[in-house]
Amino acid sequence: MPPIRIVLLIIFYFNFLGITLIGQNQLPSKKEINKLIGSATKLRESGDFEKSLLISRLALRQAISIKDNILIAENYNNVAANFNALAEFDKAIFYYDKALSYANLTQNDTIKQRVNNNLGNMYCFEKKKYDKGVFYYRKAIEYSKNISDSSQMAFTNLNLTWALFDIGKFQKGEESLKQINLYYKKHKNDYVVVVLNMLNGMYSNFKNDDAKADFYFKEAIRLGKELDEKSDLSFSHLEYSKLLLKLKKYKEAYEHLQIYTRLNDEIYAEEKLEKANVEGVNFQLDEYKRTIDKIENEKDLQFQSLKKSRIIVLLFIIAIFVLLLFLNSLIKNNRFRLKSNADLMLANQELVIANKKAQESALLKTQFISTISHELRTPLYGVVGITDLLLEEHQELTKSPHLNSLKFSARYLLSLVNDILQINKIEENKIILDKLTFNLMDEFLTIKNSLSFIAKKNNNKIFIEVDESIPESLIGDKLRFAQIMMNLVSNALKFTKDGNIEIIARQIAVKGEMHTIEFKIKDNGVGIAALDQDKIFDKFVQVGRKELDYQGTGLGLSIVKRLLELFGSNIFVESELGKGTVFTFCIDFEYNSMKTNEIINNIQVDMSLNHAFKVLVVEDNQINQLITKKIIEKNNYSCIVVEDGFKALEILAQEEFDIILMDINMPLMNGFETTRRIRLEGVDTPVIALTAFDKNEITDEAIMAGINDIIVKPFESVQLFKVMNSLILKAKNLV
């Protein structure tokens, strides 16, 4: 220690000694002692531990002189808090015990509560003796009840809950957690909010309520960053990583472990800096301990303390002792860091392996989805195609609600299959809304007819109410809109018996060409409990479902929510058990008579062409052969069908065609390889891929193979002929 500093300490000491000698004939008042205690507390909170301890020693001497046990306990508590801040935990516990021994001689429950809480902190979080720490916390809570101090009770409950959760005693900490949550609802407090959210996350994780746990941990992390609470934030990242590891989200778990390590390193660095700043203070620590012990038994200690040589020797011994303690602490910290790094490296290796497995799993999932997509679309092509042929060949059936419902349901089923199989694309906003013209009342009537069998089954009635101010023709993605309505109305029908379902559309705003329309689907069915209303839009959730009550995948409302997000909208639910449910959402649709006509004209194809075009269809599925051939020949085109790529090459060597419709997934040789060989033979006839694969999956390979365009089955025949005519005329230089 520098000589100047020693001199200053001696002068400071003599200064207080002089004050004591002057006032020894007159006992100090409680007000004066309390003022010294307040001054010592402020110095400790500002980090000036040296002066805080000096003033605490003087205040303690005066408190002993007037035999005031409350003030003696307050001073010992303050001295202990200084040692706690200097990481001298054994000394802190020593003086907290002294403070408690004097506090127990009084009837003051406030000081008893404070000291018991501090001892609980020492044993739980510094000495890791949880049973002893929990004992002191429970004593502190009893005293808090006596003085009706809800804030101190909340802080102690917070510490108690954290300690119990740390050792896995979640059930014992459950009641304490409830008390803190109740307190926080009444008294918002930034000092507890980060830890409170973390504790709620830990408890939800224990209860296996992963969604709630995820929410609370994310909230704790957000608030920790906002309030710059590094210590609480680091523990929030650590606990969140445990949840993610349980959920097998290894990559995210590893990222949060890294953040925890980085924050700990920063805190460790700050603590090292703080320790360096108070290194001079550490030289005097044992001197204060010895001096304070002697204050209780020796009234003439001030005369012995004036001996300079003894002070220097004592300080030298203390310095060596503190340096040894500091060295021991550094060795322990270094061992801990080495062990932590080894654990992190092991965890990192496990995460790398897990990440590789996850990537392999994702690839298998993508391949599975692609295969299932093809296999489901192929039979749907048959259903849609045969329905269209029936309607075209039997005009008397065009007004049949059953056949129209079949056609609509088949197309809706196709859309539903696509969305279920590609729900990950919905979540990643990879679906682009179409712009088609439609009539709102027609869509509602079609939905009503399509769902009539469900309505009859449950003896329900469907009522439609459309605002007269809504334009007759709107522009938007009618298929996605119909899917939203179908899901909501079918849900209402399933959960209502002997009741009414209302479909209501009202125009609430007009801005230029955009018409904002509010939709309501009301029923008077079983209703949804308030606690369940936040869950119903999650995937695979079916609230209140029993063994045989209701059918469905649990994806309906989840898809509705995501589709509405594509429209830039949100959905709201109002419900009461036994009284019914109302779903409300708004969508902006465009109205423009010129654009409506343009859209209608764009889908029209000139079927009056005098050219007799010759079409080659390469398709292995017999039903698809029949449907495609019928569609082509009814428009006066000639058509030849072959069932594989080899036969296609044979017939192309003998005959010329105006266009080729090529299936992709065929035995022997697929559509890509067939097209490549056709191009190698020098045949430049346009090729259209007619496939059940998703267009985005095969576009690159199709272009490389020499395919001119792609149409996904099932398709609109009008769209097929539009693309065919365009490619043929372009190839013949007729346009």
Short-list 443, 423, 422, CA closest to 587: 443
E strand or H helix at 246, and its extent? helix 230-246
Which of 278-287, 536-545, 681-690 bottoms out in mean pLDDT, i.e. has the lowest?
A: 278-287
Short-list 54, 43, 62, CA closest to 11: 54
> Is it the case that residue 388 has pLDDT exceeding 50?
yes
Kindly state the average pLDDT of the residues 193-211: 89
Higher pLDDT, 277 or 441: 441
**Distance between CA atoms of 668 and 597, rounded to whole angstroms?**
46
**Distance between CA atoms of 351 and 699, rounded to whole angstroms?**
35
DSSP string for 606-641: -TT-----EEEEE---HHHHHHHHHHHHTTT-EEEE
Final residue belonging to a domain, choices 584, 600, 616: 600
Q: Which pLDDT band, with edges at 50, 70 and 90, does 460 fall under?
A: very high
Final residue belonging to a domain, choices 600, 628, 651: 600
Kindly state the average pLDDT of the residues 40-69: 87
Classify residue 468: in a domain, yes or no. yes
User: Which structure tokens are listed for 116?
Assistant: 């018991």
Higher pLDDT, 332 or 521: 521
- Which CATH number covers residue 703? 3.40.50.2300
User: What sign does the dihedral 382-384-388-393 (CA atoms) show?
Assistant: positive
Which of 188-202, 250-264, 380-394, 493-507 bottoms out in mean pLDDT, i.e. has the lowest?
A: 380-394
* Backbone Cα Rg of the chain: 40
pLDDT at 14: 43
Q: Which pLDDT band, with edges at 50, 70 and 90, does 196 fall under?
A: confident
pLDDT at 550: 45
**Phi, psi at residue 159, to the nearest 5°?**
-65, -45
- Verify that 505 and 642 share a domain, yes or no: no
Encode pLDDT of 405-442 as tens digits. 676 677 667 666 665 665 655 655 556 777 888 899 98
- Verify that 528 and 591 share a domain, yes or no: yes
**Distance between CA atoms of 371 and 692, rounded to whole angstroms?**
10
Encode pLDDT of 153-177 as tens digits. 888 888 888 888 888 888 888 888 8
pLDDT at 364: 63
**Phi, psi at residue 651, to the nearest 5°?**
-70, -30
> Is it the case that residue 1 has pLDDT exceeding 70?
no
- Verify that 588 and 630 share a domain, yes or no: no
- Verify that 634 and 509 share a domain, yes or no: no
**Distance between CA atoms of 590 and 442, rounded to whole angstroms?**
17
- Verify that 225 and 295 share a domain, yes or no: no
Encode pLDDT of 49-58 as tens digits. 888 888 888 8
- Which CATH number covers residue 225? 1.25.40.10
**Phi, psi at residue 176, to the nearest 5°?**
-60, -40
User: Which structure tokens are listed for 540?
Assistant: 């695979």
Encode pLDDT of 322-335 as tens digits. 888 888 888 988 88
**Phi, psi at residue 170, to the nearest 5°?**
-70, -35
Q: Which pLDDT band, with edges at 50, 70 and 90, does 279 fall under?
A: very low
**Distance between CA atoms of 735 and 729, rounded to whole angstroms?**
6
- Mean pLDDT over the full length of the chain: 80
Domain that holds residue 247: 188-277
Contact 446, 405 (CB under 8 A): yes
> 400 Cβ partners below 8 Å, 6+ apart?
none
- Verify that 615 and 717 share a domain, yes or no: yes
> 588 Cβ partners below 8 Å, 6+ apart?
514, 515, 516, 517, 567, 568
Alpha carbon separation from 390 to 413, 445, 449 (Å, rounded): 19, 21, 19
SS3 42: helix
Name residue 316's amino acid.
F
**Phi, psi at residue 574, to the nearest 5°?**
-125, 130
Name residue 180's amino acid.
I
- Verify that 436 and 552 share a domain, yes or no: yes
User: Which structure tokens are listed for 201?
Assistant: 């996350």
The torsion angle over the Cα atoms of residues 150, 153, 154 and 159, rounded to 10 degrees, is 170
- Which CATH number covers residue 441? 3.30.565.10
- Verify that 611 and 488 share a domain, yes or no: no
Give the up-direction half-sphere exposure of residue 501: CA atoms within 13 A in the CB hemisphere.
32
Helix axes 285-295, 89-103, angle to 10 degrees: 20
pLDDT at 551: 47
- Verify that 453 and 578 share a domain, yes or no: yes
Q: Which pLDDT band, with edges at 50, 70 and 90, does 374 fall under?
A: low
Classify residue 559: in a domain, yes or no. yes
- Verify that 440 and 573 share a domain, yes or no: yes
Higher pLDDT, 52 or 284: 52
pLDDT at 289: 52
Classify residue 670: in a domain, yes or no. yes
Higher pLDDT, 326 or 308: 326
Classify residue 264: in a domain, yes or no. yes
Kindly state the average pLDDT of the residues 648-654: 93
> Is it the case that residue 280 has pLDDT exceeding 70?
no
Kindly state the average pLDDT of the residues 195-201: 89
pLDDT at 646: 94
Q: How many residues does the chain have?
A: 735
- Verify that 499 and 582 share a domain, yes or no: yes
Contact 139, 100 (CB under 8 A): no
Classify residue 373: in a domain, yes or no. no
User: What sign does the dihedral 580-586-587-591 (CA atoms) show?
Assistant: positive
Helices (H), 394-439: 401-421, 423-427
Final residue belonging to a domain, choices 577, 600, 623: 600
Higher pLDDT, 377 or 333: 333
**Bridge partners for 475 per DSSP:** 437, 590
pLDDT at 264: 79
Kindly state the average pLDDT of the residues 382-402: 69
Classify residue 382: in a domain, yes or no. no
Alpha carbon separation from 340 to 163, 244, 259, 308, 333 (Å, rounded): 22, 19, 14, 47, 10
> Is it the case that residue 524 has pLDDT exceeding 90?
yes
- The number of folded domains in the chain is 4
Classify residue 323: in a domain, yes or no. no
Name residue 679's amino acid.
R
Q: Which pLDDT band, with edges at 50, 70 and 90, does 662 fall under?
A: very high
- Verify that 441 and 541 share a domain, yes or no: yes
pLDDT at 20: 46
User: Which structure tokens are listed for 523?
Assistant: 């029923």
Classify residue 178: in a domain, yes or no. no
Name residue 472's amino acid.
E
Contact 730, 722 (CB under 8 A): no
Which of 67-71, 118-122, 384-388, 636-640 bottoms out in mean pLDDT, i.e. has the lowest?
A: 384-388
> Is it the case that residue 571 has pLDDT exceeding 90?
yes
> Is it the case that residue 63 has pLDDT exceeding 70?
yes
Kindly state the average pLDDT of the residues 241-249: 86
Kindly state the average pLDDT of the residues 588-600: 75
Query: For the chain, what percent of residues have pLDDT higher than 70?
Result: 77
Give the up-direction half-sphere exposure of residue 430: CA atoms within 13 A in the CB hemisphere.
13
